[in-house]
Copies of this chain bind each other. A is one copy, B any other.
Amino acid sequence: MSIITKQRARDLGLPFPGRPGPLNAITDVPGVCVGFTTIRSGQGELVVGRGPVRTGVTAILPRGHDRTPRLVWAGFHTLNGNGEMTGVHWVNDGGYLVGPICITNTHSVGTVHQAAVRWMIETYRESWERQHLWAMPVVAETYDGVLNDINGLHVTEAHALTALRSASTGPVAEGNVGGGTGMICYEFKGGTGTSSRRLTVGSRDFHIGVLVQANHGVREWLTILGVPVGRHLTEDRLLGGREQGSIIVIVATDLPMLPHQLQRVAKRGAIGIGRGGTPSGNNSGDIFLAFSVANGMDLPQFRPPVLTVEFINDEQFDPIYEATVQAIEEAVVNALVAGEDTPTLRPPGRICRAISHERLVEVMRKYGRSD
Contact = CB atoms under 8 A, between A and B. Distances in A.
Nearest to A108: B114
A110 B107 contact: no
Contacts of A117: 107, 109-110, 153
A11 interface: no
A117 to B, nearest CB: 5
Interface in A137-174: 139, 143, 145-146, 150-151, 153
Given A228-B226, A279-B322, A305 B313 contact: yes
A253 interface: no
B279 A300 contact: no
A186 to B, nearest CB: 13
Interface string A278-319: 111110010100000000000011011111111111111110
A321 B260 contact: no
Contacts of A309: 308-309, 311
A311 B94 CA distance: 13
A266 to B, nearest CB: 12
A185 to B, nearest CB: 16
Nearest to A206: B306
A121 B301 contact: no
Given A153-B114, A227-B226, A80 B368 contact: no
Contacts of A282: 94, 300, 314-315, 317-318, 321
Given A128-B151, A201-B305, A305-B312, A136 B83 contact: yes
Nearest to A151: B121
Interface residues of A, number: 102
B78 A92 contact: yes
Contact of A114 (B78, B111, B146, B243): B111
Given A107-B121, A279-B324, A307 B307 contact: no
Contact of A134 (B132, B145, B256, B318): B145
A279 B285 contact: no
A78 B89 contact: yes
A116 interface: yes
A304 B202 contact: yes
Interface stretch (A27-35, A51-59, A268-276): A268-276
Nearest to A366: B368
A198 interface: no
A315 to B, nearest CB: 4
24 contacts: A80-B264, A80-B267, A82-B136, A84-B87, A93-B264, A94-B282, A94-B314, A106-B136, A121-B151, A225-B226, A226-B227, A226-B228, A260-B260, A270-B270, A271-B278, A279-B318, A279-B324, A282-B314, A282-B317, A303-B315, A305-B315, A306-B311, A307-B312, A368-B368
Interface of A: 78-87, 89-95, 106-118, 121, 128, 132, 134-136, 139, 143, 145-146, 150-151, 153, 201-202, 204, 218, 221, 223, 225-228, 242-244, 256, 258-261, 264, 267-268, 270-271, 274-275, 278-282, 285, 287, 300-301, 303-318, 321-322, 324-325, 346, 366-369
